[in-house]
Amino acid sequence: MKNITAGVHMNERIPVNPGEVEWAGDNPGIYLRDSVDGPWTGLGIFFHVVYSNYGRGQTMIVLGAPNESLGYPQANNICMTNNRPLTDYLIRDFISKFPSFKGQSGLDAMTRMDVESHVSEGDMMESWSETMTSQGVEMRMQWQQLGQPFAVEVTPETCATGEHDMYSVFLEAKQGGISVNGKDLTGKVTDRLFFGKQMSTAFLAISETWVKPAE
């Protein structure tokens, strides 16, 4: 929280965040590229929201051509959801501010579909997957070789949106992939620096709570 300085003793942490809860749930992602320094060639992000001002719901966004202003079937830039108002809110206030998605023209051009089926599979010890289908299109995100979970607690200074406090549990996936209609997107999972820790660009982020700090 903003009103506590860095490095204070753990006992001095404020137990009740005075800010306004935006949403809570899961928010795993997979970001693919051909080389560590190259542009993203494939982006996938999934939301399972259990609480928000726009209700509960699930959303999967896959950008097979992140920097192309094209929708499906010209490009695999697709969004599936069971709650469109929630998805609009997540895109406007969160996803479009995430560094990997910011300025990606595929995010504006992606084709939106109402999800017809959704399956989560795995144990979160070794692997996990999310699969959504709609209008004959199947999108699948897979996380493999999962590591041990660790808790993360960020402030606006370090948060992906630059605006929130956020609590989360991360599990790194050494391998991961995104497919559309059974065909893998190009690119591979690479390493990135995550708060000083080398970490894969495929990750589960679960039990998140995003809080707008008090003024």
Partner 1 sequence: MPLKNPLHPGTVVWTGENPGILLKDDPDGPFTSIALFFRIFYSPVGRGTVLLLLQKPNEAVTLPTAANVVITDNKALGEYLLETFIGKLPAFATLPGCQSAQIEMMTEGYPEGDPRSCYKEIVRTANLDVELVWDGLGKPVALELPAELTGGKENELYSLLVESTRPQIIVNGEQLPGKPVERVQAGIKTTTAFLYFSETWIHPA
Q: How far is CA 59 from CA 34, 91, 133, in A?
A: 26, 10, 11
Q: Tell me: does residue 84 bind partner 1 (CB under 8 A).
A: no
Q: Tell me: does residue 214 bind partner 1 (CB under 8 A).
A: no
Q: Tell me: does residue 11 bind partner 1 (CB under 8 A).
A: yes
173 and 190 in contact (C-beta within 8 Å)? no
Q: Tell me: does residue 127 bind partner 1 (CB under 8 A).
A: no
DSSP β-bridge partners for residue 167: 153, 209
Q: Tell me: does residue 147 bind partner 1 (CB under 8 A).
A: no
Q: In the complex with partner 1, which residue's Cβ is closer, 182 or 196?
A: 196
The stretch among 23-31, 32-40, 63-71, 136-144 that binds partner 1 (CB under 8 A) is: 23-31
- Which residue among 100, 112, 129, 206 contacts partner 1 (CB under 8 A)? 206
Q: Tell me: does residue 136 bind partner 1 (CB under 8 A).
A: no
148: tokens are 């041990």
The stretch among 38-46, 107-115, 149-157, 172-180 that binds partner 1 (CB under 8 A) is: 149-157
Whether the CA torsion 151, 54, 162, 36 is positive or negative: it is positive
137: tokens are 């299109």
Closest C-alpha among 17, 5, 13 to residue 209: 17
- Which residue among 10, 37, 136, 182 contacts partner 1 (CB under 8 A)? 10
Q: What is the total residue count of the chain?
A: 215
Q: Per-residue string for binding with partner 1, 153-192, x by CB under 8 A?
A: xxx-xx------x-x-x-x---------------------
Q: Where in 31-60 is the site for partner 1 (CB under 8 A)? A: 50-51, 53, 55-56
| DSSP-derived secondary structure letter, 34 | S
CA distance linking residue 211 with residue 60, whole number of Å: 22
Closest C-alpha among 211, 151, 215, 210 to residue 27: 210
Q: How far is CA 134 from CA 25, 79, 80, 108, 120, in A?
A: 23, 10, 7, 19, 16
Q: In the complex with partner 1, which residue's Cβ is closer, 3 or 182?
A: 3
Residues at the contact surface with partner 1, assessed by CB under 8 A: 1-2, 4-8, 10-17, 19, 21, 24-26, 50-51, 53, 55-56, 123-125, 148-155, 157-158, 165, 167, 169, 171, 194-197, 206-209, 211
